[in-house]
Amino acid sequence: MREAGPPSTASAQAAHELQIGGAVTPEAFGARQTYAALDLGTNNCRLLIARPERRPRRRNNDSLRIIDAFSRIVRLGEGLGKAGRISEAAIERTIAALDICREKMEARGVTRARLVATQACRGAANGDEFIERVHERTGLRLDIIDRETEARFAARGCGALADPSAESVLLFDIGGGSTELVWLTRERRSGNGAYALRAWTSLEIGVVTLAEHFGGRSVSAETFAAMAQQARESLAPFAHRMANERRCPRFHLLGTSGTVTTLAGVHLGLERYDRWRVDGLWMSDDDASRAIARLRAMDFEERVANGCIGPQRADLVLAGCAIFEAIRELFPAPRTRIADRGLREGMLLELMEADGALTHGA
């Protein structure tokens, strides 16, 4: 586990940028450019291709016009906790997904891109070797970002969903191999409700690591309680550190991850996951409790059959719920806002801002 103060306001060059399609002149910057952000995590490979939305009319203050997107569960970190290395099978699965990402970027004429890898590559003994193999096989150069940069991108990507009337907000991102928490405080001198990053932490606990340790297919009440207890122990130092921070009546949680979007889909009773109904949804504390109870009441086959879970998440979602339970217990709030956005959106917004492509706050 690592804790730090506010993340630095590093420039948009902090993470690796890939130029695609030759040199780009300054005149080509801005709205005429097509941007891509790729996030390779412990469990998922996600790509987003977008252009700046100069006149955002969509809900939730969207500043990105999405051109294309891709997401695949690759389980890059499968077995990493025990072996300490990324397995050959995981490497091949991931390279196949990255090949699709490369093809999509080429087909969409991407001119500016940021491609990053997170916890699995940070923690693996062969993380750098894997990055080199990806470059050799696909031509893509991924940058392994540190925890601070990951937290900053997540906050940038989700910030538009925070209640501008709240004095403070706790953003959390439950990943496959790590969980990031960011304490946001409203800038008193700002007239637009902007938030500043007060503090953050990154914990080496995620849905893959927890499920591999305790098992994720058949989760008894005792197993779920043990997972939640481990999460509480990991979260406790940051909770203690934030104990005296101001929390006004509008304080709330802001969650971005497959765990919370899945819970939102279950809460809404969706037969098939629908991002447009989930992104920006408010869930009360009681709503969250009921959704978790519904998930815990399902057996593995029922989770597989659920349209918001499916076979690739069925053995991971309860581990995520245990982490969410611990967050809710240590940072009690009457409501949680659900974000189907995060790291990729944050990377895109920073790239566009560096180019002067956004003419309004995001």
DSSP string of 310-353, one letter each residue: -TTTTTTHHHHHHHHHHHHHHS--SEEEEES--HHHHHHHHHHH
Cα separation, 325 vs 155, whole angstroms: 21
pLDDT (average), residues 282-307:
97
Do residues 85 and 125 make contact, with C-beta atoms less than 8 angstroms apart? Answer: yes
pLDDT at residue number 56: 52
pLDDT at residue number 361: 42
Average pLDDT, the chain: 87
pLDDT at residue number 183: 95
How many Cβ atoms are within 10 Å of 266's Cβ, its own excluded? 22
Percent of the residues in the chain that have a pLDDT greater than 90, as a whole number:
73
pLDDT (average), residues 96-100:
97
pLDDT (average), residues 249-257:
95
Cα separation, 83 vs 125, whole angstroms: 9
Residue 3 has pLDDT above 80, yes or no: no
Higher-confidence residue: 147 or 143?
143
pLDDT (average), residues 251-265:
95
List, as own/partner pairs, every contact residues 101-108 make where C-beta atoms lie below 8 angstroms and the sequence separation is at least 24, other chains included: 101/38, 101/45, 101/47, 101/70, 101/140, 102/138, 102/139, 102/140, 104/47, 104/49, 104/68, 104/70, 105/20, 105/36, 105/47, 105/49, 106/20, 108/34, 108/36, 108/49, 108/67, 108/68
pLDDT tier at 193 (50, 70, 90 boundaries)? low
pLDDT at residue number 305: 96
pLDDT (average), residues 157-177:
93
pLDDT at residue number 28: 45
E strand or H helix at 133: helix 127-138
Higher-confidence residue: 361 or 150?
150
Residue 50 has pLDDT above 70, yes or no: yes
List, as own/partner pairs, every contact residues 210-215 make where C-beta atoms lie below 8 angstroms and the sequence separation is at least 24, other chains included: 210/319, 210/322, 210/323, 211/315, 211/316, 211/318, 211/319, 212/78, 212/79, 212/81, 212/82, 213/81, 214/319
Residue 253 has pLDDT above 50, yes or no: yes
Residue 14: C-alpha distances to residues 3, 132, 254, 351, 354 (Å) = 20, 20, 25, 10, 11
Do residues 115 and 94 make contact, with C-beta atoms less than 8 angstroms apart? Answer: no
Percent of the residues in the chain that have a pLDDT greater than 70, as a whole number:
86
Do residues 169 and 162 make contact, with C-beta atoms less than 8 angstroms apart? Answer: yes
pLDDT at residue number 74: 95
Cα separation, 187 vs 248, whole angstroms: 14
Residue 268 has pLDDT above 50, yes or no: yes
Residue 16 has pLDDT above 80, yes or no: no
pLDDT (average), residues 152-180:
92
pLDDT at residue number 197: 84
The most confident of 27-31, 206-210, 287-291, 351-355, by mean pLDDT:
287-291
Report helix, strand and coil shares of the chain as percent, to nearest 5: 45, 20, 35
pLDDT (average), residues 29-44:
86
pLDDT (average), residues 56-79:
81
Structure tokens at 137: 């096989």
Pairing of strands 143-144, 168-174: unpaired
Cα separation, 59 vs 63, whole angstroms: 10
Residue 256 has pLDDT above 90, yes or no: yes
pLDDT (average), residues 105-122:
95
Do residues 229 and 323 make contact, with C-beta atoms less than 8 angstroms apart? Answer: no
E strand or H helix at 66: strand 64-73
Residue 74: C-alpha distances to residues 58, 62, 342 (Å) = 31, 28, 19
pLDDT (average), residues 29-41:
84
